[in-house]
Chains A and B, each alone.
Chain A
Amino acid sequence: QSVLTQPPSVSAAPGQKVTISCSGSSSNIGNNYVSWYQQLPGTAPKLLIYDNNKRPSGIPDRFSGSKSGTSATLGITGLQTGDEADYYCGTWDSSLSAHVVFGGGTKLTVL
């Protein structure tokens, strides 16, 4: 059971938009920055969004992030078949034993 809650799967057609939610609590998302990672099949995860809504160099602006309270959202517009991957949210958890926590991951299918 992951500390952060994501939907197991989402799907949409090429060219469409999709959002992936990530729900936490005041000890993690509520008081810390959120990051998002994309893991293409058989590869290492890649940083997609950091500090809630910033994109690293090379990440297209089709990808966006937002945070409100204890939830965060990843948005992907203009879906491409190459976007099919697992997506994970992550953040610092400031509880007694501070550590990074991830969501369980969301499998994106581009139909």
Chain B
Amino acid sequence: EVQLVQSGAEVKKPGESLKISCKGSGYSFTSYWIGWVRQMPGKGLEWMGIIYPGDSDTRYSPSFQGQVTISADKSISTAYLQWSSLKASDTAMYYCARQWNLRYLDYWGQGTLVTVSS
């Protein structure tokens, strides 16, 4: 069974750094893209970027380029999303999802709620 399990909720202060994770199991982690999707409170889905764990090829949405860093450690089947300096506007639910051949997101993690507040 394909599963993506994300790390737990985080509460941070503006300016702090953060790295959240997404662990894949039940499939060949290095053979599928992993994408990250943001959902701000009461809003829709926004695609942030993707990584191919097999060779770490990474692509970002123009809206998120330079704002976050996506990485992966294929030895432990885990993808990451990180911020170097959080802002209050980063408060959102973040989902990872397996992206099939750049076409669709077929399996989703349960989401990680990030709250940034002073």
Contact = CB atoms under 8 A, between A and B. Distances in A.
Nearest to A104: B44
Interface string B65-98: 1000000000000000000000000000001010
Contacts of B35: 100
A50 interface: yes
Interface of A: 2, 32-33, 35, 37, 39, 44-47, 50-51, 56, 86, 88, 90, 92, 97-105
Nearest to A39: B45
B61 A100 contact: yes
B95 A45 contact: yes
Nearest to B102: A92
B64 to A, nearest CB: 9
Given A47-B107, A50-B103, A56-B106, 4 more contacts: A33-B104, A47-B106, A99-B61, A100-B50
Nearest to B98: A47
Contacts of B41: none
B110 interface: yes
Contact of B45 (A33, A37, A46, A98): A37
Contact of B104 (A39, A47, A97): A47
